[in-house]
Amino acid sequence: MTTDTLPVLAILGGTGDLGTGLARRWVQAGYRVIIGSRTEEKAQAAVTDLREVMAERGLADIAVDAMDNLAAASAADIVTLTVPFSHQSSTLELVKDALQGKILIDVTVPLVPPRVARVQLPPQGSAGQIAQELLGEDVHVVSAFQNVAAAHLQEGSGLDCDVLVCGNKKDARAEVIKLVEAAGMRGFHAGMINNAAAAEALTSVLITINKQYGCHAGITISGLDRTE
């Protein structure tokens, strides 16, 4: 397995459930992953956990590092943001310069606690649009992974869940779809960054369904057979 030709990935806020879930999937697929956190120490603890989980799965030789968020964003080719909505803007301000010319995968869902089961989109339309406006046009913001249960990502098994991939640049969306597939799911070109509102709103619907069924629900796209 070679990582020479693969982009280096950073996950900012990579110590949370979703971040560690993505890290496990991407490391397993052979990517070099940098776990970013507010302090290098916190990131290092997550890396230690990650090495243990991977060793249990028989993968001792993985490419993973711990850094603070700014160092992680600087060292990576593609940067993923998995922080709570309340920390989205401050984290992006911190790493804005380091992101120029790169792809930012925004996984932020604009949940407003305590009513996380209620759709409450921000005035800008979506967290994806907030990120794109804050970072400027030279950062390719691609919104993805909002509807994937962290619990399922952390498992080693297959995922019955599709990923809506939104962003203003088709090439950047295509790069992210490769990472969706590397994580074991189908990714769909889902339109411009405005369309992130759909995936972000859907998360509150899935939380509503999870409460009723005691499950971790996701969505799949149906009816893909050509009809014309």
Minimum CB separation from its own copies for residue 59, in Å? 25
Task: Report, in Å, the least distance between residue 68 CB and its own copies.
Answer: 34
Site string for its own copies, 56-95 (x = CB under 8 A): ----------------------------------------
Alpha carbon 171 to its chain's center: 17
Out of 125, 150, 169, 174, point to the residue binding its own copies (CB under 8 A): 125
CA-to-CA separations, 125 to 122, 129, 193, 197, in angstroms, rounded:
5, 7, 10, 6
Number of Cβ atoms within 10 Å of the Cβ of 158: 9
Contact with its own copies (CB under 8 A): which of 133, 137, 160, 181? 160
Stretch that binds its own copies, among 30-38, 40-48, 78-86, 191-199 (CB under 8 A): 191-199
The answer to whether residue 223 forms part of the interface with its own copies (CB under 8 A) is yes
Give the residue from 115, 119, 109 showing the smallest Cα distance to 88.
Answer: 109
Residue with smaller CB distance to its own copies, 10 or 163: 163
Q: How far apart are CA 9 and CA 200, in angstroms?
A: 23
Question: Closest Cα to residue 29, out of 57, 1, 67, 48?
Answer: 1
Interacting residue with its own copies among 104, 152, 153, 183 (CB under 8 A): 152
Which CB sits closer to its own copies, 10 or 190?
190
Taking CB under 8 A as the criterion, the residue among 45, 119, 134, 174 binding its own copies is 119
String of DSSP letters for 78-109: EEEE---HHHHHHHHHHHHHHHTTSEEEE---
Cα separation, 192 vs 142, whole angstroms: 9
From CA 143, how far away is CA 216, in angstroms rounded? 21
Q: Which of residues 193-212 bind its own copies (CB under 8 A)?
A: 194-195, 197-199, 201-202, 204-206, 208-209, 212
Q: According to CB under 8 A, which one of 136, 149, 175, 181 is a site residue for its own copies?
A: 149
Q: What is the maximum span of the chain, computed from C-alpha positions, in angstroms?
A: 56
Query: Which residue from 4, 61, 138, 228 is in contact with its own copies, where contact means CB under 8 A?
Result: 228
By the rule CB under 8 A, 154 interacts with its own copies: no
